[in-house]
Amino acid sequence: MKQKIAVYAGSFDPVTYGHLDIIRRASKIFNHLVVSIFTNKNKKAMFTLKERKDMLKKAIGRDKNISIDCFDGLLVDYVKQKKVNVVIRGLRAISDLEYEFQIAGINRMLYKDIETVFFMPSAKYSHLSSSMVREIGKFKGDVSKLVPPYVAKIIKKRLS
């Protein structure tokens, strides 16, 4: 039987409960899920790549069908290299749909075998984004309901 493998790529700066919701649900559908941290050199990340990887490892635990990786460059090049053709994307709100639809179309144009599978987060996470978590943290707000406890501690420490 052919293994069904998918890639869930994002900046995860920081990982949120919304990300973890999608990771857990996607890992139940696919034999293996590669959670890959995208490094965007045009953006200044709050956390280093190592810190983001450590946060994801701690959040995911020892789930045998999930691995964590990193990449920079085009997602289509990364998935070709990994010999994967399914990409997971999250849609929080209708406003995400247009952007994600464009990206999925361009990815398909660049790599005809790529398939994009969209996940809507659970309703309680539909408003949640890493950028909102960072913003709340900058103003010393409580992020404990948005991210795992150790991520909240790291944010508090980083911004104090």
138: nearest Cα among 110, 111, 159, 109:
159
Q: Which of 32, 57, 92, 156 is catalytic?
A: 92
Output phi, psi for 81, to 5 deg.
-60, -40
Catalytic residue check, 92:
yes
Catalytic residue check, 19:
yes
Contacts of 76 (CB under 8 A, 6+ apart): 107, 110, 111, 114
Q: Which of 4, 43, 127, 153 is catalytic?
A: 43
Catalytic residue check, 53:
no
Count of other CB atoms within 10 angstroms of residue 63: 11
33: nearest Cα among 2, 10, 65, 11:
65
Catalytic residue check, 130:
yes
The span from the CA of 65 to the CA of 90, in Å, is 19
Q: Catalytic positions, please? A: 19, 43, 92, 130
